[in-house]
Structure 1
Amino acid sequence: MTYCVGLRLDQGLVMLADTRTNAGFDNISCFSKLHRFHRPGDRMIAILSAGNLAVSQAVLTLVRDGLTDPETGGVESLLTVPTMFRAAGLVSEAVRHVHHIHGDGMKLQGVDFDVSFLVGGQIAGGELALFQVYSAGNFIQATTDTAFLQIGEHKYGKPILDRAITPETSLVDATKLALISMDSTLRSNLSVGMPLDLLVYREGEVDSAVTQRIAERDPYFELVRERWSDALAKAHRDIPAPEWLGS
């Protein structure tokens, strides 16, 4: 299991993922689920992946190396697509391609074809965008009504984002909220684990995305965890007692 979240804001993009991958209680590994496709001066595209590791790696290899258009014979990759919408479409095509090759074999082995992606970024001259790609090869786009998307074990972190995230949220506040959302998930599900990979991208600045690996005992993440726990404890203590409980 994993937890990945992407926030599409007026100021830019925040993307955060854990790194835990497991194939049973005694086989736990660490793989980065944040993948960046950057061409200086032209584009910054980031992908978060969840689900079957072999499937996600196959999809990522295809979109990195390129898929061949059967009609034109041309090869298209994430470094050549003209729009972010087409970037999401290319990832979707790669998912369907991998399913066509491996889906039946996986089914015979009793393995689910389980994979999903968050695709976010900007191509110079185009709009900032964030998409969620499903295992069926279809996708949706984040909008002003839904400023964040999640994949993996999302239920523990979602209530925090639902209450606080709007398109107008600043990149700084969104980063803090993403980390709080991740902390809630880490506390409630052992299949999500450290370290974390974070990307913060400011709209229109394709060469200035900030990436950060957050390891165990990271001072800032420890501060976020401590302050959030203290704030929650104070908040519930400050709420008046219900009258029907009496004194």
Structure 2
Amino acid sequence: MTYCVGLRLNKGLVFMSDTRTNAGVDNFSVTRKMFTWNTPGERVITLMTAGNLATTQALVSLLDERSKATAERNPTLLELPTMFQVARLVGATLKEVIEESGPDGQEASTKFRASVILGGQIKGGKPTLFLIYPEGNFIEITEDSPFFQIGEAKYGKPILVRAYDPDMSFEDTIKLLLVSFDSTIKANLSVGLPLDLQIYEADSFKVTERPRIEADDPYFQHISNSWGEALRTALAQLPSYQAD
């Protein structure tokens, strides 16, 4: 399983993904799920993936291979003029990979399902995010739905819904996402550290930060411990139930 979040702020975009993959309860490994293509001064495109590992790796490899422009295959994701058209290309490529992986029909194809968060900015447009489904169709971020999650989303969603503010700083957004991921990690063994983080400042057309948050990261440990203590304190301060 996986947990990835893409979140839009007034300042730009923030992406975070875990790196755990598993083929059973005793077979865990670390695999990157966040990928970026950057033409400085012109575009930044970031992809996060969840689902069948063979499918997501094939998707990224195809997109990367096809980003090298050729006379036979134009335009590429580094040439398309809008993020909407990039989303169409990624959706079509994902659908192509899944269909080729399941030659025996829909039942086989479902075993190779994957979903994608696509985000970034192309000069002339605004920073945006798309959620792309296995069928190749997609939706774009809105003010009413300012973030997307893929993978094991349910445990980390409540804090995002309650605390998100479009005017948040990047620093506070990272804190918010770490709480969301900490809640998910504690609730589901198939999501785990290290975490990949990427910040994109609007109109910069460059990746400003791509640290990896390891399990022994002092700030993550402080957030995790402090959040647990804060929850216990808040619960203790709530009025006790009184039977009628």
Asked whether the two chains share a fold, i.e. TM above 0.5, the reply is: yes
Partner residue, 2:26? 26
Q: Give TM-score scaled by structure 1 length.
A: 0.91
Q: 2:128 corresponds to which letter in structure 1?
A: A
SS state of the match for residue 161, structure 1?
A: helix
State the distance in 2 between where 1:80 and 1:62 align: 15
CA 1:28/1:111 → structure 2, altered by over 3 Å: closer, same or farther?
Answer: farther
Residue 161 (structure 2) aligns with: 162
* Structure 1 residue ranges without an equivalent (≥5): none
Tell me the distance in 2 between the aligned counterparts of 1:44 and 1:67.
13
1:104 maps to 103
Aligned to 2:126: 127
Summarize the Cα distance change of 1:73–1:110 in structure 2 as closer, same or farther, 3 Å threshold: closer
Q: Aligned partner of 1:103: which letter?
A: G
Which residue number in structure 2 is paired with residue 148 of structure 1? Answer: 147
Q: Deviations over 1:17-37 (max 9, x none)?
A: 110111222332210001011
Q: CA deviation at 1:82?
A: 1.1
CA contact (8 A) 2:198 2:207 kept: no
Cα 1:41–1:67 change in 2 (3 A) is closer
Q: Deviations over 1:197-220 (max 9, x none)?
A: 011111111124211101111011
- In structure 1, the partner of 2:41 is 41
Deviation at residue 111 of structure 1 after TM alignment:
6.4
**% identical aligned pairs:** 45
Deviation, 1:127, is 0.7
Matches of 1:196 and 1:16 in 2, distance apart? 7
Equivalent in the alignment of 1:191: 190
Q: d(CA) in 1 for partners of 2:10 and 2:97?
A: 34
Q: Is the 8 A contact 2:63 2:77 kept in 1?
A: yes
Tell me, yes or no, if the aligned pair for 1:34 and 1:48 is still in contact at 8 Å.
yes
Q: Distance in 1 between matches of 2:11 and 2:94?
A: 30
Could you say which residue in structure 2 is the equivalent of 1:90? 89
List alignment gaps of at least 5 residues for structure 2.
none
Deviation at 1:240, TM superposition (A): 2.2
Q: Deviations over 1:83-107 (max 9, x none)?
A: 1111111110101111232222586
Greater CA deviation, 212-221 or 18-27?
Answer: 18-27
Amino acid aligned to 1:23: A
- Contact kept, 8 Å, 1:118 with 1:151, in 2: the verdict is yes
Contact 1:147 1:166 (C-alpha < 8 Å) held by counterparts: no
The structural deviation recorded for 1:75 is: 2.4
Residues 188 and 208 from structure 1, CA distance in 2 versus in 1: closer, same or farther, beyond 3 angstroms?
Answer: same
Deviations 1:166-191 (A, max 9, x none): 32333222111111100000000001
| TM norm structure 2 | 0.92
Q: State how many pairs are aligned.
A: 242
Question: Using a 3 Å threshold, how does the CA distance of structure 1 residues 230 and 120 change in structure 2: closer, same or farther?
Answer: same
Change (3 A) 1:102 1:208: closer
AA of the residue aligned to 2:156 = G
Asked if 1 retains the 8 angstrom alpha-carbon contact of 2:198 and 2:210, the reply is yes
1:226 alignment counterpart: 225
The CA deviation at 1:150 is 0.2
Q: Quick one: distance in 1 between partners of 2:116 and 2:236?
A: 40
Q: Distance in 1 between matches of 2:16 and 2:63?
A: 21
Corresponding residue for 1:212? 211
